Amino acid sequence: MIIPLRNCCCFVLLINVLLFAGACKKKSNPAPTADPTLQSTAPFLMGSAVGSDAIKGSYNYQGTLINEYNSVTSDYQLKFDWVEPQQGVFNYADGDYIVAFATQHHMRVHAHNFIWHQALPNWVINFQGDSLAWENLFKTHIESEATHYKGQVASWDVVNEAIRDDDGTLRNKDVNPGDGSIWRQHLGADYIARAFQYAHEADPNALLFYNDYGQEWGGVKLDSIIALVTSLKNRGIPISGVGMQMHIDINASNAGITAALKRLAATGLKVHISELDISVNPNNDPNIVFTSDLQTTQAAKYRFIAETYRATVPAAQQYGITTWEFCDADSWIPAFFHRKDWPLLFDSDYKKKAAYFGLLKGLKD
């Protein structure tokens, strides 16, 4: 059959129109959406402790950190023995590196810490002087470090772990090795208030936190932490918030976690889950295997923590959730306890674990 020329032209035109329409339809398809991340999902800032060497040494570490987090906490590089290894001689190189990296990538910096009973240089441990000399040592260190980072860090853990586990009193002289506080011994019980005052005078815009572990235990430890921060607040001491470390394991009581978060929120201060990790081997089993059941249990605990934090702490008081590092290979737990463990969100190859997805669900569901 011979198709008339006019009909043939119309037929060709129709084909071209259909092809053009198909091309347009193909172009109008939306681009694939990026996978959700911790920082894109959370209604508050998501943080991790970081070390300067890890940032410098691993492209995968850098990439995961930048992609998932918008807040960092200095791991060790701003502690006393690192910053002032000799009296009056300050070493800020590694802390400066962390701050510069965070600033470049638009991350908040939470600095850790001014005053702790550990991580002290020998010159402090062996210091000989009267109460005025001790006060000058104490004040000079806080003011010098706070002034150096003024305007560069958003917040500080001013005093870390000042309360005993057994009876809730302030650490003083050693009962168990390593439990005593040289600061309480030489400066008196009110050294904590003065630490906050000195930090505030040096950097009035920084938010100032008291940081400790064991709130989820309840009992005298939680009672004493609540009493301490409430007293500081009522006295007009410039305290902004409290850090709930949350170094826990998969058996930690959900009821205890919930009760602690409610009581901390009731102080009216900001609440920072500041050092979160969840151990799966609290019994130090040398033959443990990270089974799918353990992974599921750990993921459920991460999810519960995020959900409970969102539900119990008012939005204005949510300073965020910070994990203590993010990759199992960088966790402090295996080396400290000499055991196998997998406490964090990413495995040693920076692959997301079930724990990651559990936390992600808790941040949005």
**Is 8 among the domain residues?**
no
Catalytic position from the list 145, 161, 216, 325: 161
Domain CATH code at residue 101: 3.20.20.80
DSSP 100: H
**Is 304 among the domain residues?**
no
Domain boundaries, position 72: 47-212
**Is 336 among the domain residues?**
no
With H, G, I as helix, E, B as strand and everything else as coil, classify residue 321: strand
Please state, rounded to an integer, the average pLDDT across all residues of the chain: 92
> Widest CA span of the chain, in angstroms?
115
H or E segment at 319?
Answer: strand 318-323
Please state whether the predicted TM-score (pTM) of the whole model is above 0.75: yes
DSSP 33: P
Give the pLDDT confidence of 9-68 residue by residue, as tens digits. 444 444 444 444 444 444 445 555 689 999 999 999 999 999 999 999 999 999 999 999
Task: Write out the DSSP string of 271-292.
Answer: EEEEEEEEES-TT--TT----H
Return the minimum-mean-pLDDT range out of 33-37, 130-134, 140-144, 290-294.
33-37
Q: How many domains does the chain have?
A: 1
Catalytic position from the list 68, 145, 216, 275: 275
247 vs 31, more confident? 247
Annotated active-site residue 161? The verdict is yes
Q: What is the pLDDT of residue 317?
A: 98
Give the pLDDT confidence of 159-176 residue by residue, as tens digits. 999 999 999 999 986 545
**Is 365 among the domain residues?**
no
